[in-house]
Structure 1
Amino acid sequence: MPDTPLTSAKPTAVPLRPSACPGLWRIVSARDGGICRVKLPGGVLLADQAEALATAAERFASGVIEATNRGNLQIRGIGSDHAALIDSLLDAGLGPRDAASDDVRNLMLSPLAGHDPAMLLDVRPLAGQILELLQGTPRFHQLSAKFAVQLDGGEGVAMLEHPHDLWLSPLQLDHCDWLAFGLASSPADGQVLGAVPLAQGLALVRAVLERFLDLASAEQSRMRQLLHADTAQAFIAGLGLPLRRDAAVLGWRRAAANRPWLGVVEQQHGLALGVAPPLGRLSPGMLRGVAKVARQWGDGSLRLSPWQSLMLTNIEAAGLQPARAELSALGLLCQADEPLTRLVACTGSQGCAKGLADTKADAVQLAAVLGGGAPGSVHLSGCSRSCAVAHVAAATLLARAPGRYDLYLRDARLSGFGALRATDLTLNEAGAMLALPTEHLDD
């Protein structure tokens, strides 16, 4: 994560709020230079925009581009010419020309929204309305730059474990489409608080945001903080909307999302191809190459995922093999059995002053130790903030010194990273422990 905001030119007179969270205009400092985060609507990046972003990363920064765990991209190592960088991204259509409205564009969808054969709803029209509401309502610009909404369509390719301030997920009742919702939790394990008809989805989002701002103190920037001081039942009682809260709603649970996000993925019509940059990092050449493949064999768009990966949709059957060959030649991971696809690492000490170890380099070394026996998700974190993963991974290696880590295994009964299993491990020692069969290391 970044540290201190840096001053940059702004195209509007709207002042940027103090925050350590980067945005399009808020370039923040880190050990390796400035960071600019580009929030992509629904995670979608057009091929022309990808090329513009790659050029900006080369011209105004170190050339390091990162996929984030909420389906966005960020540029690292930015130099002094912030205004030119921002203008180039705006000219490519990569943000609104209002600094305040950019902060609140935190709406996560499935990378296969509108295409997944398992989906119950095509949520893209409602997503567009929610983004317009967030961007176009000045009062909502008071929300924290971290305040986040998830709109789930019932897709099989979906991240259901990330906590959100508000999440909505579809269910069918009496042969009609409804939206269940929860607060300060995730669709995988969050409490369902009620449901509204699909047509009332936008009204529900508006009511939740307005009530949050009515009740929250200056110290309560996230929904979980507000609900620590009050109950969820009291919160929803003041929404002013008729909510359905019978057993069919309150007893509903979101089905598991079990379709792959890497490799060849079936769409409703045609095929998609999921690929991952190693440890979430793209070079400008990689990004241009993906854009070329998307334009030649797909629909000309890239979809960023919360697994720090990309998905190319509407790939022609005849182009599937050449597309995979080109992407693999670029250094992208195209198969789920490659060890690096199971590892996630933060920026580490090379780019962050708080990092206690070079987690990116250590992850590469650990992948070689694990080989084909990599367990389900392993997270290398340079400090306790867990910037690279928004939910608890099956296994977490928490840095304590260069090349030395404490090992935690996920345990639903415990907060934080889970159960501490070993301390002060070398990478070889950690790899040996992770290779042991254990019920806690699941997918």
Structure 2
Amino acid sequence: MPRPSACPGLLRIVPALDGGICRVKLAGGALGASQADAIADAIDAHASGVVDVTNRANLQLRGVKPGREDALIAALLAAGLGPQAHAHALADDVRNVMISPAAGRDAHALFDTAGLAAELLALLQGDARFAALSAKFALLLDGGERLMMLDHPHDIWFSALRHPAHDNVLVGFGLAGCPPVDARHAGALAAVAPEHIVPLTQALVHTFLDLAQPGHTRMRDVLATHAAESVLAQAARKTSVRLLRDAYVANWRREPADASRRLGAHAQRDATRLHLGGQPALGRMRSATLRGLANIVRNNEGATLRMTPWQGVLLTDIEPANVDATLHALAALGLATTTCDPLTRVIACAGSTGCAKSLADVKADAATLAPHVPGRTQVHLSGCARSCAAAHRAPYTLLAVGGERYDLYHTQDPRDPAGFGRPVARGLTIDEAATALNGSAPPSFDEPFDA
């Protein structure tokens, strides 16, 4: 039976201090120009005119006015922003497939994941039993792009690899984690041909639902009571997909990604056009920004607009002659286009102005702190222990504890699965936190951090 959920969705608007929250899930993060305009019109008419880009490359519409929920939902559905027409009634919750925002354009990719992602979305929406999945149950499909979010744990992850004994690209996969980039993390459970990912996913998700007990919402819950080998064996009995399991797959490591490519201009795989990235301050945009982005797309024939899991935007297929003008247009909309902007190094939740659970005005404190964040690192400000704004562990976390004060945490391994890391200091004001960060930032973060 369907699992109850407090997560917002397009069809489930949940209350918050600043009004209702509606979450729009975007297939592959893509947003058409007319859809951007439709959202802008809808949030001006029925909400606060504010939208946040989420860490799963979706959009969260804030401040939905009482009594305007149905009108907002109708406008979004009319713009084609809901589940597929043939999907089961609760399909909106399960549309959780993350790909690179540069899918199909990244010169480093081993294959284009866009078509396969569409097949996975169709599977998730078309199987009525999957209505029982949590709204947080999520898949990662990594084509080997250089611009890829690798640090968010997923219930099932797939990552492209080249095997020395096979001519064609294979796809490794694992459960309740991330593709491994170094020796600290386990390799893939097995590898399959790309065309077998959909039937394998169906078998794995059905196995999860077979094994999940009441209260088990994520794959990690099942793995707490069942070994991964047991889960894999049970899934294998549900499909004829051939699993490749050898030492190379078990020891395989994924090439590191480069999050800096989310900003500025970078050549695409066609070696002619470029993709351009920008980031709104703390992931928040207003309706005028959405309309401005729609106009940029229209002014660049063939361009596409995609949200990113770094709470930013990516424009693809920009002609070289239009790059400077387009970067200028992004900057005019208030989006940072280089990592020199300190706000690109700070993550913050809605804070006490929007969330009753938050113990601080996190957005305002993050803006105050940003100019003092050391270069080449990242700070996450969270109003409570739920860590809504960051799905990964950041190098530094400031956790609000009340009284306009924060506890400071640090980790040497951003991919650790739980908690905020090692406590560094307690009860800091935001000014004291800035001083502490500049006194304790370690040299290990001199390299770009993928988050």
Alignment TM class, shorter chain as reference: over 0.9
* Alpha carbons of structure 1 residues 440 and 347: separation in structure 2 relative to 1, 3 Å: farther
Give the aligned partner of residue 257 of structure 1.
Answer: 257
Alignment check: 8 A CA contact 1:148 1:165 kept: yes
Report Cα offsets for 1:347-404 as digits up to 9, x if no partner: 011100000000000011112344xx44411100000110000000010000112431
Is the alpha carbon distance of 1:276 and 1:99 closer, same or farther for their aligned partners in structure 2, counting shifts above 3 Å? farther
Quote the Cα distance in structure 1 between the aligned partners of 2:302 and 2:213: 46
1:242: how far off?
3.0
Q: Indicate yes or no: 2:108 matched with 1:118.
A: yes
**Does structure 1 retain, via aligned residues, the 8 Å contact 2:153–2:417?**
no
Mean Cα deviation higher: 428-437 or 389-398 = 428-437
Residue 17 of structure 1, CA deviation: 5.2
Q: CA deviation at 1:175?
A: 0.8
CA displacement, residues 309-368 of structure 1 (integer Å, 9 cap, x when unaligned): 100001111111111112111111111110000000000111000000000000111123
Q: Is 1:201 aligned to 2:191, yes or no?
A: no
The aligned residue for residue 368 of structure 1 is 371
Superposed displacement of residue 411, structure 1: 3.7
Q: Relative CO higher for 1 or 2, CA cutoff 8 Å, sep ≥ 6?
A: 2
Relative to the length of structure 2, the TM-score reads 0.92
Equivalent residue for 1:49?
Answer: 35
**Is 1:293–1:326's contact at 8 Å kept on the other side of the alignment?**
yes
Residues matched between the structures, number: 427
Q: Which residue of 2 aligns with 1:10?
A: none
1:170 counterpart letter in structure 2: A
> Secondary structure of the equivalent of 1:325?
helix
1:69 is aligned to 55
Q: Which residue of 1 aligns with 2:407?
A: 406
Distance 1:108 1:351, change over 3 A: same
Residues 385, 399 of structure 2: 8 Å contact kept: yes
For 1:260-313, what per-residue CA distance to the aligned partner results, in whole angstroms no more than 9, with x for missing partners? 111112211210110001000000001110111122125342111110010000
How far apart, in 2, do the equivalents of 1:346 and 1:359 lie?
A: 6
SS of equivalent residue, structure 1 residue 159: coil
Q: Is the partner of 2:261 in helix, strand or coil?
A: coil
AA paired with 2:392?
H
Structure 2: runs of 5 or more not aligned: none
| 1:30–1:351 Cα contact (<8 Å) kept | yes
Please tell me the root mean square deviation across aligned C-alpha atoms, in Å. Answer: 1.6
1:93-150 CA-to-partner distances (Å, cap 9, x unmatched) read 0012554111100000000001100000111111111111011111112111110000
Q: Distance in 1 between matches of 2:89 and 2:3?
A: 10
Q: Which residue in 1 is equivalent to 2:247? A: 247
Letter in 1 for 2:353: Q
1:274 aligns with 2:277: yes
Find the counterpart in structure 1 of residue 175 from structure 2.
183
Kept in 1, the 8 Å contact 2:283–2:311? The answer is: yes
Aligned to 1:349: 352
- Look up the match of 2:90: 100
Query: Is 1:25–1:99's contact at 8 Å kept on the other side of the alignment?
Result: no
Q: Please give the alpha-carbon distance, in whole angstroms, between the structure 1 residues aligned to 2:417 and 2:317.
A: 42
Q: Residue type of the partner of 1:304? A: M
Give the percent of matched residue pairs that are identical in Structure 1 and Structure 2: 49
Residue 35 of structure 1 aligns to which amino acid in structure 2? I
Q: Is the 8 A contact 1:35 1:74 kept in 2?
A: yes
- Corresponding residue to 1:308 among 306, 311, 316: 311
Q: d(CA) in 2 for partners of 1:81 and 1:43?
A: 26
2:140 paired residue among 122, 125, 150: 150
1:18 offset after TM fit, Å? 2.7
Q: Which moved more, 1:245-254 or 1:350-359?
A: 245-254
TM-score by length of 1: 0.93
Asked if the contact 2:3–2:133 (Cα under 8 Å) also holds between the matched residues in 1, the reply is no
Q: Identify if the C-alpha distance between structure 1 residues 277 and 414 changes in structure 2 by more than 3 Å, giving closer, same or farther.
A: closer
8 Å contact kept, 2:42–2:76? yes
Residue number in structure 2 paired with 1:296: 299
Q: Is 1:439 equivalent to 2:439 in the alignment?
A: no
| Per-residue deviation, residues 230-257 of structure 1 (Å, max 9, x unmatched) | 1101110112243111011111111101
